Structure 1
């Protein structure tokens, strides 16, 4: 038996293409792919309506589906998120601002909720390095600093790691 590469499947209420377009515009090495239109009426989309949009984020496959209202189905929540790691504060700020725009909400510790309700973690690579430092004091200070932040600020992490 052959199993294909896992694909993350995201349920939207009519905004699948809008969401996929936003996400691919923000993440490098990303693209919109095939679109599937309903060949017949469904309980949600009617014949001819867009059902799914394939897309990739930095080469990783996703499918966004116009499944209709989340009633009877789980809405996006904090138990699932997409984590993007960034090298620079500029990358963090660009992604953060792009995903918050239009009704998203900052949460805490680098997490946000976009306007579609999907959760994201915008994480500096430096945070991961500092939090896993062999110097336990550096790891503790950087972790404690992160816990006070909403959007992660690399310069503030570096200061905390140094004990400043």
Structure 2
């Protein structure tokens, strides 16, 4: 199967790593693949804060972005997973 050419980016207000870990625990073929931390202090945060989290959900590449509260999550996006039961 060829590598996907797109990545789903989900905007979080500080919870990207926790969300990625939840998806990785919940769905098969899912994993947190990288956690990127701020190399130094920046206007809205500090060195070491989690900035982005790369993860997969059932093989689909995703990126969690801790972008702040400018955009709120809504039910406009969801993972729809077909199961046997």
Q: TM-score per shorter chain, which class? A: 0.7 to 0.9
CA displacement at 1:12 relative to structure 2: 1.3
Measure the CA separation in 1 of the matches of 2:53 and 2:77.
Answer: 20
Correspondence for 1:33: 33
Whether 1:82 and 2:79 are equivalent positions in the alignment is yes
For the aligned residue pairs, the C-alpha RMSD in angstroms reads 1.6
Judging by fraction of residues, say which structure has more helix.
Answer: 1
TM-score, scaled to structure 2: 0.82
CA displacement at 1:38 relative to structure 2: 1.0
Measure the CA separation in 1 of the matches of 2:22 and 2:44.
Answer: 23
C-alpha deviations, 1:19-65, integer Å up to 9, x for none?
Answer: 11011100001111111111233333322211111100111011112
- Cα contact 1:28–1:58 (8 A) shared by 2: yes
CA displacement at 1:74 relative to structure 2: 2.3
SS at structure 2 position matched to 1:9: strand
Judging by fraction of residues, say which structure has more strand.
Answer: 2
Greater mean alpha carbon deviation, residues 20-29 or residues 7-16: 7-16
- Cα contact 1:37–1:52 (8 A) shared by 2: yes
Q: How many residues align?
A: 82
CA separation of 1:46/1:61 partners in 2, compared to 1, >3 Å: closer, same or farther?
same
Q: Computing the radius of gyration over CA atoms, which structure comes out larger, 1 or 2? A: 1
TM-score, scaled to structure 1: 0.46
Measure the CA separation in 1 of the matches of 2:56 and 2:40.
Answer: 27
SS at structure 2 position matched to 1:24: helix
1:95-134 mapped onto 2 (5 Å cutoff): none
Correspondence for 1:99: none
**What 5-or-longer segments of structure 1 have no aligned partner?**
89-164
